[in-house]
Structure 1
Amino acid sequence: MRRFASWFYVFAFAASVAGIGAADAQPQRRNASLVAGASTSPPIGWVQFCAENAADCRLRSPAARETTLSSAAFGQLARVNLQVNREVEQVSDQDHFGVEEYWTYPVDGKGDCEDLVLEKKRRLIALGFPRESLLITVVRDLNGDGHAILTVVTDRGDYVLDNFSNEVKLWHETGYRFIKRQAATDPNQWVLLDGGRTPGPALAAMPRR
């Protein structure tokens, strides 16, 4: 039943994409996109990941790019999100590696939220999605805990791939408080976000899911 519901969601969205006219697209974009603010520090886990995977972190771009959200593109987002959520056994870094925070690809079939995000980003880049539109993002989840998700910047707004949900949603549909994410032109630069309340001292806390 869960698998049917997930694919029904994909097909329903595809139909809605096909029915949106050019006149409707721009207002939707204004209401559905996050706005980047000042520069901030990257998560310590990202710094550690880049020290071990330098080739995945050194690429910079002269300009931001967004994903054109056709029904086919949305279907790919939904499939990758669902596949990774199902394939990777979700365990904490403490249980997995014996440390509080460690970012890596889930090559052994286990990982936490950051690891699933890294894998989803890698697969989508391999499918041809613009690297600049796939931004690792730090949020506060519904319990107020630090959490990592993948934000996909599209011409119809910013969508979220999340290990807590098999549905791909617009950022404001998640209920999360958005804290910071990668800059579009440089994955090693991170920026504050305007989603939710003004970030306070807890900003520097790292996701631990």
Structure 2
Amino acid sequence: MQRTSGSIIAAAIVMIIGGVQWVGAAFLDVPRVPQTDPTHIELGRPALPPLTFTVFCLRYEAECRPRRFFRGGPIRLTEKRWVELREINRAVNLAIEPARNELGLAGEAWIINPARGDCNDYAVSKRHELLRRGWPARALLLSEVVVGSGEHHLVLLMRTTSGDLVLDNLTPQVKPWSRTPYRWIRVQSPGRDGLWVTIGREGV
């Protein structure tokens, strides 16, 4: 369905305002399922989702549609899932040609499986591919971080009973969240579609 940019932004703002009402994700890169690491990310208070996420949900409604069986915590990472996770991370990293967004917020658009794109496109594409393979949405959380240069960056956080893992276009490895060199800002709520929470006690 075609929408004007004005109507998209207006709808996005309405969705954002409605979304601030709820509180509420490790392994070494080895061929087999890694040993248990109990480290899980600490979820904080409710946070506004990124505006570009809201626009993304308007464009890709199926990606953000509430799912019937949403209850439950982190999933168990079997050997089959571990192999699939690494394959998807690698395949998407190779399929999308890196393209830096030089226009700031005006140039932001989260696109699934584009030929060229930035971190946002990699993250939503990985989530899309895993959802297509039957992975539960509650375990696949888009997450905003800040890299060493101060730039904001989007990654996909995978919540497992053995620890929270990060799929990132800046590295071919699937890493524990605690072993990434980032400052964590906010993440999708694992309990409610469309809502986000801060990371840790301090939050944003």
**Cα distance between partner residues in 2 of 1:151 and 1:98:** 23
Q: Is the 8 A contact 1:66 1:154 kept in 2?
A: yes
Give how far 1:141 is off.
1.2
Partner of 2:19: none
Of 38, 42, 65, 2:45 maps to 38
Alignment RMSD (CA, Å): 2.3
Q: Percent identity?
A: 28
Amino acid at match of 1:176: Y
Partner of 1:76: 84
Of 113, 117, 121, 1:111 maps to 117
Amino acid at match of 1:142: G
Give how far 1:66 is off.
1.9
**Cα distance between partner residues in 2 of 1:50 and 1:89:** 23
Of 42, 47, 71, 2:54 maps to 47
Unaligned runs of 5+ in 1: 1-7, 204-209
**Cα distance between partner residues in 2 of 1:94 and 1:102:** 12
Give how far 1:62 is off.
4.4
Of 57, 67, 70, 2:75 maps to 67
TM-score by length of 2: 0.78
More helix by share: 1
1:144-197 deviation per Cα after TM superposition (whole angstroms, max 9, x unaligned): 2100000000011100000000000000101111110001122310000119xx
Give how far 1:80 is off.
0.6
Q: Once superposed, which parts of structure 1, at least 4 consecutive aligned residues long, lie more than 3 Å away?
A: none
Partner of 2:64: 57
Amino acid at match of 1:56: E
Of 124, 127, 132, 1:126 maps to 132
Distance 1:76 1:43, change over 3 A: same
Partner of 1:140: 146
Give how far 1:93 is off.
3.5
TM-score by length of 1: 0.76
1:41-82 deviation per Cα after TM superposition (whole angstroms, max 9, x unaligned): 000110111121222212145424322112221111111111
Unaligned runs of 5+ in 2: 1-27
Q: Is the 8 A contact 1:93 1:99 kept in 2?
A: no
